[in-house]
Amino acid sequence: MADSGKGGLHVGEGQKTPRRPQFSPKTFGKYHLLDPIAIGGMAEVFKAKTFGHSGFEKVVVIKRILPHFANSPEFVEMFIDEAKLSVQLTHPNIVQIYDFGKINESFFIAMESVAGKDLKSIMRRQAERGEHMPPELAAYIAHEVAKGLDYAHKLSDTVGLPLNIVHRDISPSNVLVSYGGHVKIVDFGIAKAESATESSEAGVIKGKFQYMSPEQSHGDKTDHRSDIFSLGVCLWEMLTGHRLFKRPNDIESLEAVRTCQVPLPSSYNPQLSPELDRICMTALSADAGDRYQEASLLQRELEQFLLPSTPSGLAPETSRWLHERFGEEILQERERLERGTERAKVLSNEQDFTDWTGMKASQASPRRSGSTKTVQRRKVGKRKKRGVNWLLVAGSAAVLLIMACLLLLLLVPLAPDASPTNRFATLEVRVLPQGIAGTQVFLDGDLIPMRFDEVAPGVAHELRIIAPGYMPRVTGGLELVSGQVYVTEVQLVPQQFNIVRDEDRQQPSSQANPDRAAENITNSGARERTRASTLDDTSALDNAVSTSVDPGNAPRAAARPKAFLDASSLEDSAAGDLAAPVVIFRSEPSGARVFVDGRKAGVTPFEWSAYKTDQLYKVEYRLDGHQSVQAVVTSPGRGETTVLKRTLLERVALNSGTLSIEVDSGYARVFIDGTFVGTTPLLDHRLEAGEHEIKLSNPLQDIEETHFITIRTGRHTSRSFDFAQ
């Protein structure tokens, strides 16, 4: 799996990415969970490591069912089916499955870890930079996905019978591109083999609405050509930088897929060739019979388009392109992995070492009379009583005393009279409706009570609330200060999101029933109010800014009744209608006015409810006496929260100018007069007139350069550097 997960913060270039919530590595069987990648409605994904003999280490990704879904036979069966199907797939363009099992009542899948980004994150970054993806890069990615799909579509069982596998969820979030430029398909969670149970039969819609084929959107029987259409949607969006079937709500998106009116990619990007238009439109034919009949045919045409370049030769180009856009994230991911590994090693050393069979090492080779190991013995007559080695005893006692002193130093605070409320912050969570049995609150993955008085200050935390029968609520970027009391009231939303079919009834139903005839999404709004204060000013609780989000019911489709959607297919769609995406704006110093798309949204710090998911917003921070700061933010997924924090510098004297810095290849961190100001491209950065020291650094390639640039009053200075290794 890639490191990128759902709901991540995507900010403009040249800005520092907010810190991710701290996560303490945890032991999960023979695996050590290092870093959370994504938490969905039904499962959570972690980067993990396993340790073996002689310093052996392996990075993997663990996908496990959330606790309250472990008792759902239908979901567990789907999870097991995914593991059984995926483990048969061994191909360079498909993420490999290593292990499957159950630990502490939690089913899990261990899979290959891909250091890179999913296609969704890549296209977001491209939109934030206001650029089109190079056509050759888009064609290369589609070519590699087609190659992996062709293998899966044609796979046979052990006796040579075709499995007829259909992925059914080819979308940007399920296409991973490694930092080395290699492309892999992931998540066969709803894939269907011909021998699958009736949970995968016609009449059931599973997948993301905006990437379905027309036949899939109607709930009709699908074959491998449905995946080719979905790949065509991904290719169209890579080439144009627009969403093909995204509409204001899921029902309209579904209808857009069914209508299947597709404009030429070149109508959005005139630089595209007619050949690429033709390839893309063939894959997007509404009639499956007019599409490429095999993924290999699409692969072959893309390969012809790429000539004289070859797919293998484009991998390094793709790698360089990614490093230019994600260099800072690559560095942060590497640092998180190193920190997590060191902590996991401590956990590993505290446990009994376990070999590959799961037995303790002491059990793996029990002593027996036939052992080849020999022990040298002294032949003695009468056994003598061994005397006490007092020197050894004294030495051991001294070592134990030193260890005890060190332990006391670690456990006892240096200032014992310091009150906990001065060193920590307090978090109080109020969950509505009240009294839900089995409600659990997690802070950075650790179970906490509803009121927790030992929240570490100055660190971005992740708050997760889980209750049986309700959608999980996840809030990231929660950062408190010492002595602060933070009260958050969260309205949970029941899991009742179904679209049903019925040939006899005309009234919509809110229950999941495949024998009923109208389509309807039943949902309720979700709201979250937060209040904060310090212990020194409790009156602030009554004056704090609160945010309410009360979306109305989703529109009911008047279109032809067709199919039943189960809850799993709505994890990324209908469930999202229930809680608007939230962006938390912060600034240093606080009190800055924030304008979103030119309209004042509030004064930092505050929470802002975005109108749409995956929407690009232009943001400007303004504060008297300080330079304004502009940024770009992509709203997170529905029900998710992200943080955008900016530092505003004091306004410099009138004798100033601006500076822009770019590098020809790769990326660079920019330090001006010893202060980190952002990453390339650095645009219109205001500086006092005079000479400044500019240091460019790329820690990934261990490159560093220093230049001196003179800024002139009222003038703009632009510099481009060749930063290749």
User: Catalytic: which of 81, 169, 227, 250?
Assistant: 169
Q: Around Cβ 697, how many Cβ atoms within 10 Å? A: 18
For residue 307, the SS3 value is coil
d(CA 474, CA 256): 31
d(CA 539, CA 591): 19
Structure tokens at 144: 């590699």
Asked whether the beta carbons of 528 and 429 are under 8 A apart, the reply is: no
Q: Which of 83, 80, 85, 94 is nearest to 163 (CA)?
A: 85
Q: Is the peptide bond before 561 cis (omega within 30 degrees of 0)?
A: no
Exposed e or buried b for every residue in 521-537, given b needs 16+ CB within 10 A? bbbebbbbbbbbbeeee
DSSP letter (8 states) at residue 650: B
Distance from C-alpha of 196 to C-alpha of 191, rounded to nearest angstrom? 9
Q: How far is CA 268 from the centre of its chain?
A: 29
What DSSP character marks residue 460?
Answer: E
Instruction: Determine if the peptide bond prior to 605 is cis (ω within 30°).
Output: yes
Residue 304 to residue 280: CA distance in whole angstroms: 14
**Residue listed under structure tokens 């062709």:** 150
Helix, strand, coil percentages, rounded to 5, for the chain: 30, 30, 45
Crossing angle for the helix pair 224-240 and 119-128, to the nearest 10 degrees: 20
The rounded distance, in Å, linking the Cα atoms of 383 and 230 is 82
Does residue 169 have an active-site annotation?
yes
- Determine phi and psi for 609, rounding to 5 degrees: -90, 115
- 590: tokens are 């606080």
- How many other C-beta atoms can be found within 10 angstroms of the C-beta atom of residue 346? 10
Residues 32/49, Cβ–Cβ less than 8 Å: yes
Largest CA distance in the chain: 101
DSSP state of 572: T
Question: How many beta carbons lie within 10 A of that of residue 620, not counting itself?
Answer: 18
CB-neighbour burial class of residue 355 (10 A; exposed 0-12, middle 13-18, buried 19+): middle
Provide the annotated active-site residues: 169
